[in-house]
Amino acid sequence: MTFSRNSLGAYLALTFTLLSVALTLLLTAYSDRAASARIRASIGNNLAELANQTASRLDRSMYERYREVRLIADRLRNTHNPDTVRRELEALQQSYPAYAWIGLTDSQGRVLAATRGMLEGADVSARPWFRNALNNVHMGDVHDALLLAELLGASDGAPLRLVDIAFPVTDASGQIAGVLSARLSWEWAKDIEQAIFVPVGRSRTVDPLIVSSVGVVLLGPPDLLGQTLDLPSLSAAQRNERGHVRETWPDGHEYLVGYSRDQGFNAYPGLGWRVLVRQDTDEAFAPVDQLHQRMLIGGFVLAALFSMMGWLAARRITRPLQELADVAQGIEAGYAVKARSSGVYDEVATLGRAFNSLIAKLQQNEAEVRQLNVSLERRVQERTAEHEATIERLLENQTPPPTRIETTDVPFVATDFEGHITEWNAPAEKLFGWKRHEVLGELLPDIVLAPRHHHVFIKAVAHFLTTGHAPFADQTLERTVRRRDGTEIQVAMKIRLINTSKLQQFSAFIQALPASHEPT
């Protein structure tokens, strides 16, 4: 079965195709939008969780160092031998190499003992960590230590970055006898970064940053170290919020940023550090783009599948209709084709039964018309014979025609050779609605023919006047005529030609046909 351009099957198939494509695309767009939103939120939440984990790890690691130094300060309360103190401090440094320097001072700020003997005898009373320890501030923020870097022999000449931890040391009476200071290398923060990001296979493009309470970058990409940032994510973290945000950074790039803040742990109060984990939005949302592509491809595949199903459904729907169309064409060609009364759906079955009923009715009507035609033909022949006999008697007796024509109950009309009406009996008056005196002398087509048929009458009369031959004479014709009120009827007539020296005319007895009859 093939579909023509204007067939119902083509329209149904095209409709199914368009609907399936539209529905598939809408569902794909909706699911893609919902899934994309969830994935974007999930990616942002992952970055926020990384920031939170990093802040939590910083807090716990700093708390361990805080607690460790405080315990050592308590143990050194009754220790006055510098050598013993030095050995204990070096043991602490060996257990945790991130300590760049550990030293014990007296109450005046002179270093009594230190790891590797560095700065022993030096006055450090002006150092912030010494003064803060005496004021019960035990933690100092990250800062550069150029002098200590020289003493430690930093190979690249870069400044050594330290976090200061210091506790006062008291004697047996509770008086301050000195200060224990542990200067923690900032490299330990990089160890925390590696512990969180590398083992779980994080992309190297995910950048963790640790920002001080005043907005200075303490840890992060080299181009940002030491810079002061002012970002919405930092402000949110400063308000002790946790989450993620899309924002544009000073380099002009847009990043997805997870943020958090250190909270301290137990006795460790925290330093107000804020932790950011950023990733370029294009790379962060690459899984979303991949999802878009997969869902779009899947949507087109589904649309193609549904389109094929729509074409198959259209073929199945229109096949019974095509069979009925074949039946109708057979009826038009004159064959008594019978339609199937059963179909794949009720409407086709009902239509098939209606076709069969119509065929039976047409066959019945055709038989009745044939019988009627035979009857009319016989009656016309009889009336024609009577008319011919009457005319012959009229010619023989020279009796005026109206006296004899009026005796018949069949409409009779006669014209001269130019079409002017010469006879019009009472049945003709009844049939057409025109009185005899109103039509005598009038042209016949003006009285009984619709304007669209005038040319046929004129052409026939002109042919007769030119050739003397009238092909329509002695033929039973079925024609459409018009009454006075404008209504049209079908009639059968047999036209008689009389062309003698005494009478020249066309005459016809007329028989009205049933309304359902169509002229041949």
Q: Which CATH number fits domain 380-512: 3.30.450.20, 1.10.15.40, 1.20.1740.10, 3.40.50.300?
A: 3.30.450.20
Better-scored residue on pLDDT, 64 or 145: 64
* Residues sharing a CB contact under 8 Å with residue 60, sequence separation 6 or more, in sequence order: 265
The whole-number pLDDT of residue 415 equals 92
The pair of three-digit structure tokens given for residue 465, joined into one six-digit string: 């006047």
- The domain made up of 63-184 is a member of CATH 2.60.40.10: no
Domains 189-285 and 380-512 equal at CATH topology level? yes
Is the Cβ–Cβ distance between 75 and 93 less than 8 Å? no
Percent above pLDDT 70 for the chain: 76
The whole-number pLDDT of residue 355 equals 67
What's the half-sphere exposure (Cβ side, CA atoms, 13 Å) at 303?
Answer: 19
- pLDDT of 199 > 50? The answer is no
The region of weakest confidence among 107-121, 224-238, 261-275, 290-304 is 290-304
| Angle 366-370-375 from CA coordinates, rounded to 5° | 145
Residue range 64-88: average pLDDT?
85
Q: Which CATH number fits domain 189-285: 3.30.450.20, 1.20.1050.10, 3.30.360.10, 3.40.47.10?
A: 3.30.450.20
- pLDDT of 370 > 80? The answer is no
- pLDDT of 201 > 70? The answer is no
> 385 — phi, psi (to 5°)?
-65, -40
pTM for the model: 0.53
Assign 336 a pLDDT band (cuts: 50, 70, 90): low
The whole-number pLDDT of residue 189 equals 74
Q: Which of 195-199, 375-379, 397-401 has the highest mean pLDDT?
A: 375-379
- pLDDT of 424 > 90? The answer is yes
The region of weakest confidence among 61-70, 210-219, 425-434, 511-520 is 511-520
**Nearest-angstrom CA–CA distance, 256 and 233:** 10
pLDDT in tens, 462-488: 888 888 888 888 888 888 899 999 899
Using CA atoms, how far residue 247 sits from 39, 238, 262, 272, in Å, is 18, 16, 22, 22
Residue range 299-322: average pLDDT?
72
Cα maximum dimension of the chain: 179
Query: Which residue in 158, 155, 287, 142 sits closest to 222, CA to CA?
Result: 158
**Nearest-angstrom CA–CA distance, 275 and 143:** 18
The residue extents of the domains of the chain are 63-184, 189-285, 380-512
The whole-number pLDDT of residue 403 equals 47
Residue range 281-297: average pLDDT?
75
Strand order in the sheet with 217-219: 217-219, 207-211, 274-280, 254-261, 243-248
Better-scored residue on pLDDT, 234 or 146: 234
Mean residue pLDDT of the chain comes to: 79
- pLDDT of 53 > 90? The answer is no
